[in-house]
Amino acid sequence: MEKVENKKSPKKHGADFGLRILAIIIAIIIWFILSITEYPTINKTITNVPVVFSTENNAASEKGLQIRGYKDITVDVEIKGMNYEIGSYSANDLVATINADSVTKEGTYPLEITVKSAHSSDRVTVVSVKPDTIEVDFVHIAQNVFAVTPSIPNVSAESGFTLRSPTISPSEVIVEGAESDLKKVARVEVRAEDDLTLSESKNIEAERVIFYDSENNELDRSKFTLVDTKRFDISVDVYKKKTVDLKVDFTDCPPGFDARTIPYKLSESQIKVITPKLDDSDYQTLSIGSVSLADIIPGKSYTFNVDQKLSAGEINQSGISDVVLTFEFDKNDYIRKEFTIQGSAIKILNPPDNKSVSVETRQLRSVILIGPREDIEKITDADLVATVDLSDFASVGSVTRSVTVYSSSSRVWCISKHEVQIEIADKSSDSSQSNS
């Protein structure tokens, strides 16, 4: 005989599932009946219900007032209602708002917190709200543009260098806040807290913004909001410090003359300079101008502008722009003396080729030399040398030229100016006239 396997009837399994569903439905019906008959209403406390701050459709919004500085605030609410309606209530099923109907102008008001069900069809009674009031600040919000001042209190320069005044980008910010608070702002500062010692220029990021009033008192930062700006770049330029010795050049000096012996004095012999050239030497000698030797006479002075002689980008830190050159002849016992030079003693330098040159001036009178007494008293007319340079002249005819006068002393020079008349002719012409 074949063995017959026992199989469970699928109808019996389906019947069990259906009975379970039926039992659940009956339990819900029984719970609903009991809720209505035995426990029709209940009290329930719901915690951490968020308070919504809004001024829409009330007197405050009509006056253009806005709430300032509120934070996330919650309340604990006790409600009463039908068990089957509020039994499963949570914080999301309640709406807590403030009542701003009494607000008509700027100020701080203690406002009542109103709570209601988020479901309009539910019959819910609010028994208590804790806290039931809250202080709210109402203001007129405005915007204003302020210049920004950079601050780098912890940044310094290495020895031999200096920091220029820092610059900042953006240099202006739009600030939003209460009109009454914005009127108190006199200065906006952005401060970088980095602790640095620099030997070269650097950009520093900064985020801390500080507001000050007209008396330099710090204002409450929380009352202000920056519009569209959260980060600033502060640029710090580092310059090299150097000492500059000043000097004056003397021109038109005769052969053998020692310009270092001229007894002159500068009102400032040295200045302090900063330069963007970080590899420059710590010391430098700078010529601030030149004076012709013939223009050096007792009682005369010259003024030179130092700033005009500095290299591009260099800055004079001494606060002195003009330097005066004077001469100390009295202190050094310098004297003047007049001489006469014969025309035949005047020498022609660089005469034109194939030209004959003759000096028409017979003598130079009132030739004034100046120098130390011990040198001047030894000089005679015969010790003087007078020259005329014709290197820039190549034609024939009559010409007037200045004369350079000097002596054998390296400390004496001529301060008088003289000219001579010179005739220039072709040599071949001179020879034909002579033969005829």
The predicted model gives 210-218 an average pLDDT of 96
Domain membership of residue 2 (yes or no) is no
Whether residue 253 sits in one domain with residue 231: no
Domain count, the chain: 4
Whether residue 133 sits in one domain with residue 145: no
Q: Find the CATH number of the domain harbouring 268.
A: 2.170.120
CA dist., res. 221 & res. 424, Å (int): 91
Residue at a domain's end among 203, 236, 269: 236
Range of the domain at 408: 334-431
Whether residue 422 sits in one domain with residue 353: yes
* Chain segment 70-111, per-residue pLDDT in tens: 778 899 999 888 887 888 899 999 999 888 878 888 888 888
What are the helix (H) ranges across 170-294? 179-182
Whether residue 301 sits in one domain with residue 256: yes
CA dist., res. 263 & res. 318, Å (int): 25
Q: Are 334 and 370 in contact (CB under 8 A)?
A: yes
Residue at a domain's end among 236, 271, 294: 236
Whether residue 407 sits in one domain with residue 383: yes
Look at residues 323, 326, 286 and name the one whose alpha carbon lies nearest to residue 305: 323
pLDDT at 12: 54
Whether residue 282 sits in one domain with residue 315: yes
Residue 212 has pLDDT above 90, yes or no: yes
Residue at a domain's end among 213, 236, 259: 236
Domain membership of residue 391 (yes or no) is yes
pLDDT at 175: 95
Whether residue 425 sits in one domain with residue 381: yes
Q: Find the CATH number of the domain harbouring 100.
A: 2.170.120.30
Domain membership of residue 284 (yes or no) is yes
pTM (2 decimals)?
0.62
Domain membership of residue 367 (yes or no) is yes
* Chain segment 112-138, per-residue pLDDT in tens: 888 999 888 888 889 999 999 888 888
Residues near 116 by beta carbon (within 8 Å), at least 6 away in sequence: 94, 95, 124, 126
Whether residue 399 sits in one domain with residue 341: yes
Q: Find the CATH number of the domain harbouring 208.
A: 2.170.120.40
* Chain segment 260-298, per-residue pLDDT in tens: 999 999 999 999 999 999 999 999 999 999 999 888 888
